[in-house]
Structure 1
Amino acid sequence: MLGAIEAGGTKFVCAVGDEKGMIVERIQIPTIGPNETLQEVSTFFQKFKVDAIGIGSFGPIDVNKKSPTYGYITSTPKTAWRDFPFTKTIKEIFPVPIGFNTDVNAAALGEAKLGAAIGLDSCLYITVGTGIGAGALVQGRLLQGLSHPEMGHTYVRRHPKDLFAGSCPYHKDCLEGLASGPSIEKRWGQSGRTLSERSEVWELEGYYIAQALMQYILILSPKKIILGGGVMKQKHVFPYIYQHLTELVNGYVELPELTNYIVSPQLGDDAGITGALLLAYEALQQN
């Protein structure tokens, strides 16, 4: 049996299941401090005999296996978790193989193997919610270099009528600072869930997301783009993304039919936890 942890900034999802994405049992835990949160994680997994655990974590994290801080959450804005030895702590409780990557890379893996990008060796998964992050599968492997991708912090051109300063504590008006869930709420004074009928909100959101997608397409040329996260549950933003992306690309590269190319997660909210099960399976195979 495989264990999976989808560690988000707001909540942890823990599950046990198999490499086919079949989930036997799961729980959801609020993300508090490491001690309180991982005590509940430990209590859940102690009910099962797990052979490996996969972790898809919020970041930034250290994914370089040669680094002395491999498996750490590093410079996160969540101060209680900063420089926290995540994999080491889990392995001390459960001495089994541990797979570790970002939550969005885990979601990209889940969608590639069992979801919207099944059969493809390349895809991009982007979550637009409390933050914005992206994971990429390139030639069948999760993209990793000096570190993991941080595509949510790329810069986009500000809309001429947008006077909002941006909400990112590091960069102000990067993509996350202008298009994340908190930035929508700060700009408009209301949660995005209450703004469904206001087209100007979603036209502006589509404007920023399309700019980022153009950069990702030109750099990575993914075969499928999957847009998840709470903000993307507002499905009326997709037509604005298609419209602005078409205008931006301007025929320079030939794109597939956008309604089939840029899609919602086929696994829905289970993309990340499914990917974490697959990370556990990979760790078990490599052990």
Structure 2
Amino acid sequence: MNKHALGIDIGGTQVKMGIVDARGQLLGRIEHPTPQKEGAEAALLEIASVAKQLATEANIPWKDIAGVGVGLPGFLDIPQGHIVQLPNLSWNDVPIRKILEKALALPVTIDNDANVAALGEAWSGAGVGVKDLICITLGTGVGGGIIANGGLVHGSTGMAGEIGHIPVKQDGALCGCGRHGCLETIASATGVMRLMQEAIARGEQTILHHDESDPLTTEKIFSAAKDKDPVAQEVVQQAVDALAYVMSILSLTFNPALFVIGGGVSKAGSTLFEPLEAAYHRRTLSYVAKGVLIRPALLGNDAGLIGAAGLTAKGEILR
């Protein structure tokens, strides 16, 4: 990119925006509550207004911004720049590119939020210099973004990377997608909490408990595992084994050089990464796993907006 780019990461409660230079470095950023207006168009016009405010506050002339990238948490028609459905916002059938291009007078590109987070980490985070990587986000659910030969992999309908819904346990827990035993029922923050709550309900001996006055958290579970609580250790191991199983499949399919692990669960540090590396190498063919790195994400909440800005270069920033 020979100019700056604007990245917009639209979430269910917050919109994060940033102006990024050609090296993927943030020049200015702002957060704004996701507008809860009647109709998506009114909300998008408010977001466009905040974007212009950001440029003014960052002292960046609007003419120096080459384009806009937008990351969105839902089902998209990416080539048409169209929102099919954003369940968390009740936005359906929205011509977002048309609306924002008219409001901002700039070209607009959209993509899935997990994909733009992967692009951000590849551009200026944990994956700098790596052309083949997979970014896995362990949060409320499990998201994924795949980069092969420096470009995002979308698949025939834009659904590539939905790794949270790879089945890992037959007849397992019900997933939000309506099926049973998906990866995110075990390896997400929600899944880890569920496993621990079930163990407590069975009366297994653990230092942890769960009640309204002292609610259970993933941080407490990983801390207990670090302190050798056997029940917490078993819960963490179940999550790690499920994740390693999926990473093995992804390695055999895409042959990445690097896995980047982000999201709230990744903050567990070595309590997650050490057993994960061991389980991954145990499950994966040695000549496939050889040299593959597993690293924590570096950009945190800025990965999405930085990666969204990178969309304006149409994927060429990594090639």
Q: TM-score range with shorter-chain normalisation?
A: 0.7 to 0.9
- Is the counterpart of residue 153 in structure 1 residue 169 in structure 2? no
- Is the counterpart of residue 238 in structure 1 residue 279 in structure 2? no
The aligned counterpart of 1:107 is: 117
SS of residue paired to 2:75: coil
Match of 2:180 among 172, 194, 207: 172
Structure 1: distance between partners of 2:93 and 2:194: 29
**Aligned positions of 1:228-267 closer than 5 A:** 228-235=262-269, 236-249=271-284, 251-257=285-291, 261-267=293-299
What does the per-residue CA deviation read over 1:17-46, in whole Å, with 9 as the maximum and x for residues that have no partner?
A: 322222222222344644675354223212
TM-score (norm 2): 0.76
The aligned counterpart of 1:183 is: 191
**What amino acid does structure 1 have at the position aligned with 2:173?**
A
**What amino acid does structure 2 have at the position aligned with 1:223?**
A
Query: After alignment, is 6-15 or 125-134 more displaced?
Result: 6-15
Number of residue pairs matched by the alignment: 273
Structure 1: distance between partners of 2:5 and 2:175: 38
1:6, distance to aligned residue in structure 2 (A): 1.4
Residues 10 and 239 from structure 1, CA distance in 2 versus in 1: closer, same or farther, beyond 3 angstroms? farther
1:221, distance to aligned residue in structure 2 (A): 0.5
1:283, distance to aligned residue in structure 2 (A): 8.7
Provide the alpha-carbon RMSD of the alignment. Answer: 2.6
TM-score (norm 1): 0.84
Structure 1: distance between partners of 2:52 and 2:221: 43
The aligned counterpart of 2:50 is: 44
1:14, distance to aligned residue in structure 2 (A): 1.0
Structure 2: distance between partners of 1:40 and 1:215: 42
What does the per-residue CA deviation read over 1:125-179, in whole Å, with 9 as the maximum and x for residues that have no partner?
A: 1111122111111122111221231222111136xxxx96233233232112332
Match of 1:56 among 62, 71, 91: 71
The aligned counterpart of 1:2 is: 5
Structure 2: distance between partners of 1:131 and 1:36: 29
The aligned counterpart of 1:211 is: 245
- Given that residues 123 and 223 in structure 1 are in contact (C-alpha distance below 8 angstroms), is that contact kept between their aligned partners in structure 2? yes
Residues 146 and 38 from structure 1, CA distance in 2 versus in 1: closer, same or farther, beyond 3 angstroms? same
**What amino acid does structure 1 have at the position aligned with 2:121?**
E
Structure 1: distance between partners of 2:18 and 2:252: 36
Larger of the two Rg values belongs to structure: 2
**What amino acid does structure 2 have at the position aligned with 1:102?**
N
- Is the counterpart of residue 225 in structure 1 residue 259 in structure 2? yes
The aligned counterpart of 2:301 is: 269
Point out where structure 1 has 5 or more consecutive residues left out of the alignment: none
Structure 1: distance between partners of 2:315 and 2:146: 19
- Given that residues 133 and 256 in structure 2 are in contact (C-alpha distance below 8 angstroms), is that contact kept between their aligned partners in structure 1? yes
The aligned counterpart of 2:205 is: none
The aligned counterpart of 1:11 is: 14
